[in-house]
Amino acid sequence: MYKILDGKALSLEKRENLKVLVAKYEKERNQRVGLAVILVGNNPASQVYVRNKIKACEEVGIKSYAYYLPEDIKESDLCDLVKEVVENPAIHGVLVQLPLPKHINADKVLALIPRKKDVDGFSEENIGRLCMNEDCLVACTPNGIMSLLASEGISTMGKKAVVVGRSNIVGKPMAMLLINGDATVTVYHSKTKNLKEECLQADILIAAIGKAKFITADMVKEGAIVVDVGMNRDENGKLCGDVDFENVKDKCSYITPVPGGVGPMTITMLMFNAYWAAIRS
Ligand code: NDP
């Protein structure tokens, strides 16, 4: 019988704990924790993510600073704004919502965020420190997944973990966290041969692909722990993950649902990163 890794419930619990920490910070430092969220353009998905992040800030008592910029903003103007925002001592964490419009070099913009304010954990320095297992701000989605596993007492030590997807924001930092957690890790991607056979080896299978119901029951080992990062729309426009949940679940010991699994944890970890950034400022 499988067990649900309930990101929604864990998020609620963690946000309650964080609320107390944030209030304590505010009282002791006579200052609020401040998080800046910069959104360029009108991408509907990005608008939803930003709205949810701002709502989460309100819930835990973090002061949000939202910047809504036009799609056709010049790269140099965006860079000037980011430089100004990162200098503001009331703002402890800064994130630029991705993706940025094509005419803007995202790497150039993200490089302007100093590592201690890089609450997304995307900077070269934070990624480098993660690779070296040193103190850093960790990318929120993989960090949330580790937290979900830990909440059920699932140890990664000695487990065979497979991460499908190698993006800089999910797959790679996920693999690093699992290595740091003493798992034996393999990362697969679109050029991997025999993906099915490879996935069947996994004690822990993380799907971060972006393809609806891509991981099917014949790719999952009996008793595996399956974590679904994907956020896709199925043929009926309904939100679904990268895992064919209905057919896979009975093979699993644990599985995350979509929605209500990894998604809420991502935003909760962002709130924690903002708090940690404030504490260390
Ligand atoms: P990317 O598109 O950046 O990366 C997708 C990865 O999947 C790539 O490494 C790609 O390989 C790999 N891939 C694509 N097709 C295949 C295939 N046929 N076989 C094996 N691997 C394949 O996506 P992200 O990492 O940004 O996001 C992945 C998913 O997670 C998306 O659905 C996204 O919406 C969701 N997401 C959810 C979050 C949450 O909070 N729940 C947060 C962030 C993302 P290659 O490198 O070779 O192209």
Q: How many CB atoms lie within 10 A of CB 191?
A: 7
232 lines ligand 1 (CB under 6 A): yes
263 lines ligand 1 (CB under 6 A): yes
pLDDT in tens, 22-73: 999 999 999 999 999 999 999 999 999 999 999 999 999 999 999 999 999 9
Residue 53 is a catalytic residue:
yes
Q: Which of 120, 203, 228, 244 is catalytic?
A: 120
276 CA → ligand 1 middle, Å: 28
Look up residue 215 and give its DSSP letter.
B
Can you tell me the distance from the alpha carbon of 155 to that of 9, in angstroms, rounded to the nearest whole number?
20
Q: Against a cut of 0.85, is the pTM above it? A: yes
Can you tell me the distance from the alpha carbon of 86 to that of 112, in angstroms, rounded to the nearest whole number?
8
Q: Which residues contact 29 (CB under 8 A, 6 or more apart)?
A: 278
Domains of the chain in sequence order: 29-114 (3.40.50.10860), 140-263 (3.40.50.720)
CB half-sphere exposure, 258, CA atoms < 13 A: 25
231 CA → ligand 1 middle, Å: 9
190 lines ligand 1 (CB under 6 A): yes
Q: How many CB atoms lie within 10 A of CB 184?
A: 15
Can you tell me the distance from the alpha carbon of 96 to that of 103, in angstroms, rounded to the nearest whole number?
15
pLDDT in tens, 229-259: 999 998 899 999 999 999 999 999 999 999 9
Coil/strand/helix, residue 14: helix
